[in-house]
Structure 1
């Protein structure tokens, strides 16, 4: 049995505010469009200031994530990496805490997520309002 590889990119407008964007529907749509059955989906954001998280959304969890990141990585001028808006250096530390990728199992053509889990783009960079996300399926 040979493995099939499919890939595409999403262009996501995140705006000039910190945000958490739900990509679960986009991931499911991609899997459906290629007729995926069993395999792995890799979600990757090729930016130095964004990450991919798999957590619950709704009920405030996405805002809680941004608040926690704000506590851990305050938007101040303390960062050595300084260009762009005040505190932009913390955006470059973000991928050390929220990895720029996630690899997820695909079973029967669907993401094998837990009941409340979603695939999220986490973007704290106010200076870059547009992101590219690469979806790659191997199955």
Structure 2
């Protein structure tokens, strides 16, 4: 494999409650090693059917607002055809249709080119699976 493409899988524990988990520091750590000052693209991908990747502001309430909005759009009730797992778990399988399981971000000079308040986050509403993986891939 060429230096132009590097990938790494990171393991996370998201616990037993819905969460927006900030991945920005992990992305930056990966790019320090993988990009080595080069321009390119960072792809962030979650290989799970019940989680997504969002680029949002965190810490000022936006992460809680996102979870509240998802609760409104995707209530944890009996309307879902997908019925295994905890009550309302079918909603978790619809989540990636609204919060995509990937994001591709510009890398300039080896650093993420995010806006001032943007963070890269894992969005996980699935309380049944606290163990998650995220694949980071740099192409440059």
Cα deviation, residue 113, structure 1: 0.3
> How many pairs were matched up?
138
What residue number does 1:113 align with?
114
Residue aligned with 2:8, SS: strand
User: Which secondary structure does the structure 2 equivalent of 1:92 belong to?
Assistant: helix
2: distance between equivalents of 1:75 and 1:29? Answer: 36
Q: Where does the alignment leave 5 or more consecutive residues of structure 1 unmatched?
A: none
* 2:19 match: 19
Q: Give ranges in structure 2 of 5+ residues lacking alignment.
A: none
Q: CA deviation at 1:103?
A: 0.1
C-alpha deviation, 1:36, in angstroms: 4.6
Other-structure match for 1:39: 40
The alpha carbon displacement at 1:3 in A equals 6.7
Partner of 1:123: 124
1: CA distance, partners of 2:56 / 2:37:
23
TM-score, with normalisation over the residues of structure 2?
A: 0.96
Cα offset, 1:16, TM superposition:
1.0
The normalised TM-score by structure 1 is 0.97
Distance 2:7 2:27 in 1: 11
Paired position in structure 2 for 1:59: 60
CA RMSD, Structure 1 to Structure 2 (Å): 1.1
Structure 1: 4+ residue segments shifted above 2 A: none
Match of 2:5 in 1: 5
> Deviation per CA, 1:70-108, whole angstroms, max 9, x where unpaired?
000000011111000000000000000000000000001
Q: 1:109 offset after TM fit, Å?
A: 0.8
Structure 1 counterpart SS, 2:9 = strand
